[in-house]
Amino acid sequence: MTAPVFRFAPSPNGRLHLGHAYSALLNQDLASRLNGRLLLRIEDIDITRCRPDFEQGIYDDLSWLGLRWEKPVRRQSEHFEDYRAAARRLRSMRLLYPCFCSRKTIMEAVARNEAASGNPWPRDPDGAPLYPGLCLSCSVDEAEKRIAAGEDHAWRLDMQAALASAPGPYTYRRFDKQGREELVEAHPERWGDAVIVRKETPTSYHLSVVMDDALQGVTHVVRGQDLEASTDLHVLLQRLLGLPTPLYHHHGLVQDSNGDKLAKSRGSESLAELRDRDVSAVEVRARLGFGAQSLIVSL
Ligand code: GLU
């Protein structure tokens, strides 16, 4: 039997904090318990927010924590061609359509729909309103003209067509820290016509994560609970693209003293700042529940 493959996949758009450390250490811990391999993937598709110094920070922080990973590291920005090919395939299946809407146009349409119906417009699991379908009715001719004229556009999944093309039920297997597995039902329709190729980059988190997990032979995905709902969409994309579905474990999120999840945007203390305050890697590991024992085993 081939060894299980785990991956930690941070985005270099800020410094890592304790939440990332927990996710990285849990990946390492579960990989070593299952005699698995651990990969590191740099998810830098957002070329406006990702920076080389943040990427270097990831390597420095993870090495400091005692993490070891296989090389070469996959950097998503070097693989846009893979994501373009996947998007082309979905387009050839007529499952993507171009969307020229700005965020403002969408919000205005949602407000109009809410006013007309008197009901709140449905939201996706992240709380964003489902796309109200404005560009779905745009003819192929008109869309081609607008694209040829250089108009900015994203590509959205035609959810109804996608569900018809790969009919449900949709499921994946989740595993716990003891290695027990159970079947989970997925409901991709709750994401509506999700953006699969963004305006400013030739992919999206959803498309590139699904492609890379398959291209890298990832068998076990360990990531935060905040991404659990996305898995439903990932399972659908895997079905449409003929890719295997890995096992998933979505872990609880490390919280600050107010009970809020740690976030770069909320100014949570970074691992680099902890290190500058002379907090040791052993202390960080212990605080996250990875005691000295796991340090000895993993080094
Ligand atoms: N790049 C994502 C993040 O930093 C994680 C993606 C994943 O683990 O699927 O939140």
Same topology, domains 1-76+269-299 and 79-100+135-251? Answer is: yes
**244 CA distance to ligand 1 centroid (A)?**
19
**59 CA distance to ligand 1 centroid (A)?**
16
**CATH 3.40.50.620 describes domain 79-100+135-251:** yes
**pLDDT for 207-251, tens place per residue?**
999 999 999 999 999 999 999 999 999 999 999 999 999 999 999
Question: Using CA positions, which residue lies closest to atom 6 of ligand 1?
Answer: 9
The answer to whether the beta carbons of residues 241 and 212 sit under 8 Å apart is: no
Q: Is 7 in the pocket of ligand 1 (CB under 6 A)?
A: no
The answer to whether the beta carbons of residues 193 and 157 sit under 8 Å apart is: yes
Residue 57 structure tokens: 């920070």
Q: Is 240 exposed, middle or buried, given 0-12, 13-18 or 19+ CB atoms closer than 10 A? A: buried
**255 CA distance to ligand 1 centroid (A)?**
18
Q: Is 45 in the pocket of ligand 1 (CB under 6 A)?
A: no
pLDDT above 80 for 296 = no
Residue 121 structure tokens: 């417009």
The answer to whether the beta carbons of residues 23 and 274 sit under 8 Å apart is: no
- DSSP readout, 31-98? HHHTT-EEEEEE----TTT--HHHHHHHHHHHHHHT---EEEEEEGGG-HHHHHHHHHHHHHTT-EEE
**Confidence at residue 233, expressed as pLDDT on a 0 to 100 scale:** 98
**pLDDT for 64-105, tens place per residue?**
999 999 999 999 999 999 999 999 999 999 999 999 999 999
Specify the pairing of strand 154-157 against strand 195-197: antiparallel
**Confidence at residue 148, expressed as pLDDT on a 0 to 100 scale:** 97
Residue 200 structure tokens: 């400013």
**225 CA distance to ligand 1 centroid (A)?**
11
Measure the CA–CA gap between 241 and 71, rounded to whole angstroms. Answer: 27
Question: Using CA positions, which residue lies closest to atom 3 of ligand 1?
Answer: 10
From 23, 205, 222, the mutation candidate for ligand 1 (largest count of ligand atoms within 8 A of CB) is 205
| Mean confidence (pLDDT) of the chain | 95
Measure the CA–CA gap between 136 and 29, rounded to whole angstroms. Answer: 46
**pLDDT for 125-166, tens place per residue?**
999 999 999 999 999 999 999 999 999 999 999 999 999 999
From 30, 225, 227, the mutation candidate for ligand 1 (largest count of ligand atoms within 8 A of CB) is 227
User: Which residue's entry shows tokens 């590139």?
Assistant: 208
**9 CA distance to ligand 1 centroid (A)?**
5
Alpha-carbon radius of gyration of the chain: 21
* For the CA of 41, the nearest atom of ligand 1: 1
Measure the CA–CA gap between 258 and 78, rounded to whole angstroms. Answer: 39
Q: Is 213 in the pocket of ligand 1 (CB under 6 A)?
A: no
Work out the angle at residue 203's Cα, subtended by the Cα atoms of residues 236 and 123, and round it to the nearest 5 degrees: 55
| Exposed e or buried b per residue across 58-76, where buried means at least 16 C-beta atoms within 10 angstroms of its C-beta | beebbebbbbebeeeebbb
- The residue extents of the domains of the chain are 1-76+269-299, 79-100+135-251
The answer to whether the beta carbons of residues 82 and 149 sit under 8 Å apart is: no
Measure the CA–CA gap between 10 and 12, rounded to whole angstroms. Answer: 6
**Residues whose CB falls within 8 Å of the CB of residue 60, separated by 6 or more in sequence, listed in order:** 272
Q: Is 11 in the pocket of ligand 1 (CB under 6 A)?
A: yes
Task: Give the residue from 185, 178, 274, 198 showing the smallest Cα distance to 232.
Answer: 185
The dotted CATH code for 1-76+269-299 is: 3.40.50.620
Share of the chain above pLDDT 90, in %: 90
* For the CA of 230, the nearest atom of ligand 1: 9
**153 CA distance to ligand 1 centroid (A)?**
24
Q: Is 12 in the pocket of ligand 1 (CB under 6 A)?
A: no
The answer to whether the beta carbons of residues 74 and 42 sit under 8 Å apart is: yes
Specify the pairing of strand 96-99 against strand 154-157: antiparallel
